[in-house]
Chain A
Amino acid sequence: MIEAQQLTKRYGEKTAVDRLDFTVRPGTVTGFLGPNGAGKSTTMRMIVGLDAPSSGSVTVNGRRYAEHTAPLQEVGALLEAKSIHPGRSAFNHLNSLALTHGIPRRRVEEVIELTGLQSVARKRAGAFSLGMGQRLGIAAALLGDPATVMLDEPVNGLDPEGVLWIRNLLTGLAAEGRTVFVSSHLMSEMALTADHLIVVGRGRLLADTTVKDLIRQSGGDTVKVASADPARLRELLAGPGVEITGRSGSEELEVTGLAARAIGLKAAEYGIALFELSTKGVSLEEAFMELTRDDVEYHGSTTVASAPDDRNTEAAEPVGSAA
């Protein structure tokens, strides 16, 4: 359980984190989402006490991180991938962290096995690939068997196999009852793993919601249906929680609150011919961009003359997000 109250971090004039209030609960994967420079990393650094808040506070399981007698047992954090000395072997790195807490050597071997690092555990960590470095960071995060696992951009730079491994790991950890808090600037990734979402932009809280609600709010799961008798169909489909829009004179209707399958069955039952039936799912990506459009810190301007597309000129994608 992580609780932030009016958490604020200012660097001179710039406010990196602006009065954030949120709670990360155990048993689910909570995604921490925002464009680059939204203050996600700074928030995570404040959670584990690497940065001190300018004002407000953040606690882990009811106490400030530094006040715990065994901090690694409360929160296991992967911050930046390279929080290691490149000259030290993976085993020695993990063992040195374990020694501070009296964590037995057996547990060190265990996390090495869990993260699949056995074959390289005795090699200098500086020679590790990005994926291996990420696994080592996760091994360190899991070392204390922590109640809360916090990972900053864990899938960054991983190959598909690595990404899949992280996804399964996260859902597995949450299923064990742990608090899992994962940051990302990729909505699509969060959609696959997170249940709950905390969305930030320019340090401010934009949404504290579930993946489902976010889609619904942004008008997701609309079904477009074109039929021979839109007026009749409209009457048939009407019901609680169902919203239908359509222009008079048009054979198209837009239905929210009903699945395409249900609409099709209903139309068949009453013998109404359908010409088109398609789910116009608003992607989470679009929902996210809609939400953070005004809060993207670095707008890229696309000046490629050959692509005068609407989407390009909008350029809601933060520069460097592909990195």
Chain B
Amino acid sequence: MSTATATRAATGRPAYRVTTARVVRAEWAKFWSLRSSWITLGVALVFILAFGLIRDWRYTVMMNAGHVHDPEVLGANGVGLSLFGLNFGQLAVGVLGVLVTAGEYSTGMIRSTLAAVPRRLPVLWSKALIFGGVAFLLGLTGAVAAFGIGTGILSGSKAALGFGDAGVVRALIMAGAYLALIGVSGAALGAVLRSVAGGIAVLLGTLLLVPGLMELLPTSWQNNVSQYLPSHAGDSMYALHQDLHTLSPTAGLLVLMGWTALALAGAAYRLKRTDA
């Protein structure tokens, strides 16, 4: 053992080597080796399915009760109803994103992580890649399942849609993309703030409170500004029909990608520049 070490040190050709692919593998192993990952993903999936299906069921109840002119019923469609649970699933996914990065700081794990990968940035990219991918698959699975089951509940109603209807497949894929971007944003916020509580507060504030604050602005401003908020841009990604003053799905995707990129840039800057 000692001679091997000495030889390697002398020749300067170590047998081991840090590569980005290996950092990705390590982060993959780290993610799945924590119980909180499984639990939170499970919770997110349950939220997406349960609240979506409850909303479908409520629609049919209202329909059958004759509330056809209720605004909630009037403009409803199968995608909007079945994907209602995404509003809650996104919170679980965003929180898990924060945990993926800020959790390392609160526990002290970050010291081990950065001692192994002192160049640092590959860790952030790997976490974003892995968690983005996981959140995408979760969102897609949840959306497809919720919509698929919802089709059965809604069948025969005006809102009923099938996988073959225009825009449905796009909306379901966008639902996955939405959760991926929220998850990566959460991870980026966690890395910027290095605090689980702080990261979650900023994330939930951005998703839940800021849209409400928009009401304080003059209406004309609201119409121009609020569609670019992360939450509203995200909503428009998987909406089947666009209202006035909402972005198209593609524009919504680009805007949310922009916000995510901004958060990631902040995270990269903080990770590289400040002491761990």
Contact = CB atoms under 8 A, between A and B. Distances in A.
Contact of A84 (B22, B109, B114): B109
A99 B29 contact: yes
Interface in A37-58: 45, 48-52
Shortest 3 CB-CB contacts between residues of A and residues of B:
A176-B2, A66-B118, A99-B26
B18 interface: yes
B112 A145 contact: no
Interface stretch (B33-41, B173-181, B203-211, B262-270): B33-41
A88 B9 contact: no
A316 to B, nearest CB: 31
Contacts of B108: 80, 82-84
Contact of A50 (B33, B36, B111): B111
A96 B26 contact: yes
Nearest to A104: B16
Given A88-B30, A99-B26, A177-B2, A93 B114 contact: no
Interface string B108-139: 11111011111100000000000000000000
B16 A72 contact: yes
A100 B34 contact: no
Contact of A97 (B9, B19, B26): B26
A140 interface: yes
A145 B110 CA distance: 21
Contacts, number: 123
A58 B237 CA distance: 50
Given A101-B22, A177-B5, A70 B16 contact: yes
Contacts of B25: 99
Given A61-B9, A100-B117, A147-B9, A85 B103 contact: yes
Interface size class of B (residues with CB under 8 A): 35 or more
Contacts of B235: none
A96 B34 CA distance: 12
A83 B36 CA distance: 18
A101 B15 CA distance: 9
B31 to A, nearest CB: 9
A92 B33 contact: yes
B16 A73 contact: yes
B116 to A, nearest CB: 5
B155 to A, nearest CB: 44
Nearest to A52: B275
A72 B118 CA distance: 10
28 contacts: A48-B115, A50-B115, A51-B276, A52-B275, A61-B9, A66-B118, A66-B119, A70-B15, A70-B16, A71-B117, A73-B14, A80-B108, A83-B111, A85-B30, A85-B103, A85-B104, A85-B107, A85-B109, A88-B30, A88-B34, A97-B112, A99-B25, A99-B29, A100-B116, A140-B112, A145-B1, A145-B5, A176-B2
Given A50-B275, A70-B15, 5 more contacts: A70-B16, A72-B115, A80-B111, A99-B22, A101-B22
Determine which residue in A45, A69, A89 has the highest number of CB atoms from chain B within 10 A of its CB, and name it.
A69
A82 B26 contact: no
A87 interface: yes
A97 B126 CA distance: 14
A93 B26 CA distance: 10
Contact of B115 (A77, A96, A145): A77
Nearest to A46: B275
B191 interface: no
A102 interface: yes
A49 B169 CA distance: 48
Contact of A92 (B5, B23, B29, B276): B29
B17 interface: yes
A176 B112 contact: no
B29 A95 contact: yes
B166 interface: no
A272 B45 CA distance: 94
B4 interface: yes
B190 to A, nearest CB: 14
Contact of A69 (B17, B109, B114): B17
B36 A87 contact: yes
Contacts of A89: 33
A61 B109 CA distance: 26
B86 to A, nearest CB: 27
B58 interface: no
Nearest to B111: A83
B213 interface: no
Contacts of B275: 45, 50-52
B112 A93 contact: yes
B51 to A, nearest CB: 28
A99 B103 CA distance: 20
Contacts of B103: 85
B245 interface: no
B107 A86 contact: yes
B6 interface: yes
A119 to B, nearest CB: 19
Nearest to B112: A83
B187 to A, nearest CB: 15
Contacts of B241: none
B18 A176 contact: no
